[in-house]
A and B are shown apart, each in its own frame.
Chain A
Amino acid sequence: NAGVTQTPKFQVLKTGQSMTLQCAQDMNHNSMYWYRQDPGMGLRLIYYSASEGTTDKGEVPNGYNVSRLNKREFSLRLESAAPSQTSVYFCASSEALRGSEAFFGQGTRLTVV
């Protein structure tokens, strides 16, 4: 059982380049999330999808777009990467119930130069 799978694991981009981070879960969860982790800042929510077909902004959505492709997949796109987007990105999923545990992927370490 793979859980939450993120690709790629590492990526280096030049300023202005675009890329899509992929995430897939095999736990039949309704809700999916994208967080970024920066030193001393904890995890900050970028976007979330409470169910298939819906997406909502989190705390730090600027510079990102998301697509909930189907129930399993939730992608994060950087249209024009900036050095401030250098971070570790985590995808997570959970049941759509308050108090449900979120399951996390292994993360994508992104460097924008």
Chain B
Amino acid sequence: AQSVTQLGSHVSVSEGALVLLRCNYSSSVPPYLFWYVQYPNQGLQLLLKYTTGATLVKGINGFEAEFKKSETSFHLTKPSAHMSDAAEYFCAVSNQAGTALIFGKGTTLSVSS
């Protein structure tokens, strides 16, 4: 069965520092992987996704993620954090049938000045 594990429920960084949010997946088929962001009291917004092809995926707001099959990972990074990046981030994988997304438990990113 497909599943996602996000390592670290809370990550704190200083403004301008590297952001690294970790995601490992389990999938019985080639995975389709997603990162979503949720700002307070809002719905989820897609940051980026990996389907096939290039393993380094660029998304909105300067975020990127690299699909590493050997490590079953899809970590999200941003070179320099901004205060506006403070939010909750969710990693997700398509279920086996491709009919729905399975989400991790989320990582809250705090950014301090």
Contacts and interface: CB of A to CB of B under 8 A. Distances in A.
Chain A interface residue bracket vs B: 20 to 34
Contacts of A98: 32, 94, 97-98
A97 B102 CA distance: 15
Contact of B105 (A42, A56, A97, A105): A42
Nearest to A41: B105
A101 B90 contact: no
Given A90-B44, A107-B43, A101 B49 contact: yes
B90 A48 contact: no
A43 interface: yes
Chain B interface residue bracket vs A: 20 to 34
A96 B97 CA distance: 11
A42 B43 contact: no
Contact of A56 (B32, B94, B99, B103): B99
Interface of A: 4, 31, 33, 35, 40-45, 48, 50, 56, 58, 90, 92, 96-99, 101-102, 104-107
Interface of B: 6, 9, 32, 34, 36, 41-46, 49, 51, 90, 94, 97-106
